[in-house]
Amino acid sequence: QPEQMPRSCHPLLVLINPRSGGMQGRELLHSFRKAVNPHQVFDLACGGPLPGLHVFREVPRFRLLVCGGDGTVGWVLSLLEDIKLKLACTQPPVAILPLGTGNDLARVLRWGPGYSGEDPLSVLINVDEAQEVKMDRWTILLDANEPECAQERTSMPRSTHTRVYDKDVCTCMNNYFGIGVDADLSLGFHNAREEDPGKFNSRLHNKSVYVKVGLQKITHNRNLHRDIKVQVDNVDIDLPSVEGLIFLNIPSWGSGADLWGSDSEGKFSKPCMHDGLLEVVGVTGVMHMGQVQGGLRSGIRIAQGQFIRVVLQRETPIQVDGEPWLQPPGNIIV
């Protein structure tokens, strides 16, 4: 019985996305069911995170291990927020076994760039020895103000952690939010995966597709600043000539790259994932993004702030934590 558990006892709930990391997720289901009580291990393909959280709803103190990509982690965190009042443990610590492609959240939380076949027992030891840290999470309100766009919005790819309201779309961001070329690349990758999901069974193949999409997107159209308006903490921002804007919550982007870079002039605060601030960064195109990922350059540091308002003048690719779509004209509030 939960009430009879000693205070030092923190059972582990393991949630595994079998579709992440090729076949790794399915293999981990079998491995963890041997390493711990199989009643503590849940397949996210069978009902999502809710069945496992329901089983643990009366446990006063427990930990979570999420095996999947950053999108899977965001899905679990959003559901935890939605049902926390129904849980005896309202804010369980969450560990990550990274099975995705970029794994930026896992990187900054020091869970590594990707699972490479470690023994489940060593993973469990790492979870037991891990320290708890805090992380900001941001609400993004997407309000398309053109009536004719309502039908378009219904076809927008819905992430598993997006909540839909009568007129607006409200979603949560953990890592970053991109507008323009960054999101356009993600959208190209998303469309390629939707056309032939069977081929996307390894991180190496996924990255090769990103490179191919990037080569197809090389242009010199730096007109994003003419199509959008940005306010940071109610101050209008004079945007440079860029193809993309990225709003960062964590200091890792594009599979571990340092997009913000070193601020030698001291104009900004040092980025931190629990300081209540977002970093606004610009990129001039695909070549610039490649140089950032290669460690040769940083992005264009533009602003930091707690409240972001973006006005889209035309339909524009956007992405939240790597999940892309075409957003109709309107307001975006973070």
The pLDDT tens digits for 9-50 are 899 999 999 988 777 889 999 999 999 999 999 999 999 999
Return the beta strands (E) in the chain as ranges: 12-16, 41-43, 63-68, 94-98, 138-144, 162-164, 169-173, 176-180, 228-232, 235-236, 244-248, 278-283, 300-305, 308-312, 316-320, 323-327, 330-333
H helices of the chain, in order, are 24-35, 50-55, 70-83, 104-108, 120-129, 150-154, 181-195, 203-216, 224-227, 286-293
Give the per-residue pLDDT at 166. 43
Give the per-residue pLDDT at 191. 61
Q: Which of 34, 28, 320 is nearest to 182 (CA)?
A: 320
* Cα distances (angstroms) measured from residue 296 to each of 54, 115, 116, 242, 287: 47, 27, 27, 18, 11
**pTM to 2 decimal places:** 0.85
Cα(95)–Cα(82) distance, integer angstroms: 19
- With a cut of 70, say whether residue 267 has pLDDT above it: yes
* Cα distances (angstroms) measured from residue 184 to each of 119, 188, 281: 37, 6, 16
Q: What is the mean pLDDT of residues 175-203?
A: 74
Cα(123)–Cα(65) distance, integer angstroms: 10
- Fold designation for 2-129: Rossmann fold (3.40.50)
- What are the φ and ψ backbone dihedral angles of 288, each rounded to 5 degrees? -60, -45
Domain edges within the chain: 2-129, 170-333
- Non-local (6+) Cβ contacts of 49 within 8 A are 15, 42, 75, 76, 79, 80
Domain with residues 170-333, CATH architecture: Sandwich (2.60)
Give the per-residue pLDDT at 3. 64
* Confidence tier at 102 by pLDDT (50, 70, 90): confident
The pLDDT tens digits for 273-306 are 999 999 999 999 988 998 999 999 999 999 999 9
Cα(277)–Cα(302) distance, integer angstroms: 13
β 316-320/176-180 pair status: antiparallel
- With a cut of 50, say whether residue 148 has pLDDT above it: no
Domains 2-129 and 170-333 share a fold: no
Q: What is the mean pLDDT of residues 250-256?
A: 93
Give the per-residue pLDDT at 45. 95
Cα(38)–Cα(273) distance, integer angstroms: 34
Cβ atoms of 77 and 137 closer than 8 Å: yes
Q: Which of 39, 97, 28 is nearest to 64 (CA)?
A: 97
